[in-house]
Each structure stands twice: as C-alpha cells, then as structure tokens.
Homo-oligomer: A and B are copies of this chain.
Amino acid sequence: MTRAPQVVVIGDGRASRPTARLAEQIGAHVAQLGATLITGGRGGVMAAASRGARRAGGSVIGIVPSTALAEGNRWCSVVIPTGLGHARNVVTALAGDVVVAIGGGAGTLSEIAFAWIHGRPIIVVKGRGGWADALTRRGVDARRSSTITAVADAAGCAAALWTLLRRVTKA
C-alpha cells in the first residue's frame, strides 16, 4: 500500500478575506490532486486551507502546539497535539512532500527555515505580504537541498504542486 502525497500549507493564524479565499482555493486544489493536506491546525490561513480541502473531499491533518485534541480547527480530519509550543513548527515543516507558504509572520518564517534546512521543496504564493512575499528564488541560505518556487495565485500553485509532487513521489 502507498500513502498519498502530503502537502503542508503554512501562513498566518489570522487572514484577511482575500488571503483566506486564496488559501481555501489552494486547499481545494490539494484535495483534488489526491494529496493529504497538513497544517498547523489553527485559524486564518490554516483553517481556510483546511475548509477548502475538506469541502473538496480531502483529508486534513492539524498539528497543533498545545496538548489538547480540541485545539484543532473544525476542518481537521485528524488532530496531532504536540505539546511542544512553537517547536511544533519543525514537525509541521517536516510533514510535507511540499510546503506552501502564504503571507506569514515569525512562525511561518521559522517553518520556511526548517523546510529549507530539511530539503522540503517550498512554494511561496506572492502578493499576500509577509515572509512568503519577501523570499526570492535565491532561497534562505547557501544550502541547495531545497528549492523555492514563486507563484502568483491558486492556479499557479496547483500547477507547481502537480510538477513538484510528481518529482517527489517518483524519487
């Protein structure tokens, strides 16, 4: 048996309406690609992407900071409470065959750094501010184990996911 590809979506715990709509569309694309969506399990970008994936019939895992199963948002199919506080960001970043960043503050930045260190391919969706907007193709540092792909919208993200997941699951 094989597991489905895993896509992590990271971003702010609070999101403007256009950012939430974008995250929801990306979540739906993740489900339509047959991938499992994984998020940090909280609000904002995380909840919006999760809603999109669940409504499109997908599975959603929320990896939350506290010890409480109830901390996951209502769109989670499964909640993984870590009890690690912000150190759960390492676990979130590691959970993806690909990691998608939308906007994002310091928490998202730490997740991008960990995805980069651990060689997880990163897609940054431009135009929503935050660290996802600030990063360029040059990457986070001189390591070359990961890549950063910049996309403009949900459709671009779906196309990049399709390409990256095909490469990852073949490897």
Contact = CB atoms under 8 A, between A and B. Distances in A.
Interface of A: 1-4, 6, 36, 38, 54, 59, 61, 63, 67, 69, 72, 74-87, 90-91, 94-95, 97, 105-107, 109-110, 113-114, 116-118, 130-131, 140-143
B94 A82 contact: yes
Contacts of A75: 1
Nearest to A62: B3
A6 B61 CA distance: 12
A63 B79 CA distance: 12
Nearest to A70: B171
A117 B107 contact: yes
A97 B67 CA distance: 12
A26 to B, nearest CB: 18
Contact of A90 (B1, B3, B87, B95): B87
